[in-house]
Amino acid sequence: MNILISNDDGIYSPGLRALAGVASEFGQVRLVAPDVEQSAMSHAITILRPLHYSPVRVGGFEAYRVDGTPADCVALGAHLWGGIDLVLSGINLGLNLGHSIWHSGTVAAAKQAAFLDIKAVAFSSPYGGEVPDYGVYAPYIRQVIRLIAEDPDLPLLNVNFPEAPNGLYWTRQSVRHYDGQVVSGTDPLGRSHYWLAVRPVEEVEEGTDRWAIEQGGVSVTPLRLDLTDEVGLRRAGIALDK
Ligand code: MN
């Protein structure tokens, strides 16, 4: 199995190395990731300048840094390494739950693979400044790789780890609450500035990704690329028929 590994935290992120270590048990791995952090870049691609693909040393793995976004890395990595069976993205330093899926560069790398008809998984972990203990995630990463490799109906998964996992939970994306907020402050020169940040979401719905993390579960959410609002489409169709 040929496995391309990417992320949005950059080629030197410890999460990338941890993921590559587990993935290498399943076949050939190649790391292609941004040269600097690209968190919250979502699915941006670079079109106004060329990209560069440079070999680097990362934990004994074949690795390349790209001066682009996570989606650029997967597009370029897939172009230069044909016959990829699986793309893994992460392990992100920070969870990607609920609406964060839209902002996430980690998930975008996996989505780019899905665009190219390659199976993909995005992995994210909690991050409070200290690098997580990736050893406890390894058995679940193996389980998820086996799941996606064997099931033709699961092309794209978003996986989030709690600090101490107690099992695998199949979940839906929580969409009721948005945790984004703007925090204002003042810089040392007295100028106002604004930070886009997140706030804790207190209410969680059972069965969602956020809920699974609260229960100590590894949240696995199958994603799809079709954003069509089926109910809205049906309603519009009925209205047009009248
Ligand atoms: Mn990140």
Residue 129 CA, ligand 1 centroid: distance in Å? 13
What is the rounded CA–CA span in Å between residue 202 and residue 111? Answer: 28
Calculate how far, in angstroms, residue 15's C-alpha sits from the geometric centre of ligand 1. Answer: 10
CA of 37 to the centre of ligand 1 (A): 7
pLDDT per residue over 155-187, tens digit each?
999 999 999 999 999 999 999 989 999 999 999
- Chain mean pLDDT for the chain: 96
Confidence of residue 109 (pLDDT cuts 50, 70, 90): very high
Cα–Cα distance for residue pair 240/242, rounded to 1 Å: 5
pLDDT at 203: 85
* Alpha carbon distance 38, 220 (integer Å): 23
Give mean pLDDT, residues 12-28: 98
pTM of the model: 0.96
Instruction: Give strand pairing partners of 81.
Output: none
* CA 105–ligand 1 middle distance (angstroms): 7
At 59, list the tokens.
């934990």
Distance between CA atoms of residues 181 and 183, nearest Å:
6
| pLDDT at res. 242 | 65
Give 85-102 pLDDT, tens digit per residue: 999 999 999 999 999 999
Instruction: Give the pLDDT score at 238.
Output: 80
Confidence of residue 67 (pLDDT cuts 50, 70, 90): very high
CA of 104 relative to ligand 1 center, distance in Å: 7
Centroid of ligand 1 to alpha carbon of 227 (angstroms): 23
